[in-house]
Amino acid sequence: MLGVNLASGEVSVHALPLRRPAAASKGAVKSIVQAVWRRPGVLAITGVQRTPSGHLLPLGLWLTDTRSWRSRLVDAGATGMALAGTTVLAFQPFFDQLAAGTSAIGLRGYSLSGSIRFRAFAGKPITVVRAQCRYAYAAGLGPVGTPVVDLSRGSVEPPDPEAASISPLELLAGTGR
């Protein structure tokens, strides 16, 4: 069960206390929840939950109307999100730690009402996404450059071959130049 304190912005997963499995000693060691409030009255929540066996399971991408407190699951496979204006981008950080049999969702864009706007990189493990203006930059496809998604059209631009050496960390933080 997810809990959100709107005054402090604190998000938590409420679960029964379980013994910590040995497999939890590397990677994500506990449940991780990401929540973003977006006007007008939409709370987006996603993340992963660690199972007693030590695997991570997607919490999915949930959109909650904060006026009525009605929630709906819009993407069961999502474990991370980024916001780009009125588009919620769903992807899968920690893909390599997800339970066996979990399918890669690529990158998906949703409106704040939960309607699908686009799907890109189907079946590929996109692990980092950065949105800027009308573009999203994705990582997780290997050494093929950094693919760019035009969010207004939902189309994928060819990757820049000179950007093939950009790491996911540089994608998030910049090159420092």
Residue 13 has pLDDT above 50, yes or no: yes
pLDDT of residue 4 exceeding 70, the answer is no
Closest of 161, 22, 11, 160 to residue 81, by C-alpha: 11
Cα angle value 82/42/58 (rounded, 5°): 50
**Global pTM exceeds 0.85:** no
Tokens for 102, please give them: 């979990």
Determine the average pLDDT of the residues in 17-22.
Answer: 46
| Domain ranges, ordered by start, for the chain | 2-127
Q: What is the pLDDT of residues 127-166, one digit of tens each?
A: 889 888 888 888 766 655 677 888 888 888 765 555 444 5
| Percent of the chain predicted with pLDDT > 90 | 26
Structure tokens at 5: 């304190």
Nearest to 95 by CA among 156, 48, 30, 136: 48
Residue 62 confidence (pLDDT): 95
Q: Rounded to an integer, what distance in angstroms lies between the CA atom of residue 112 and that of residue 132?
A: 18
116 vs 11: CA distance, rounded Å: 25
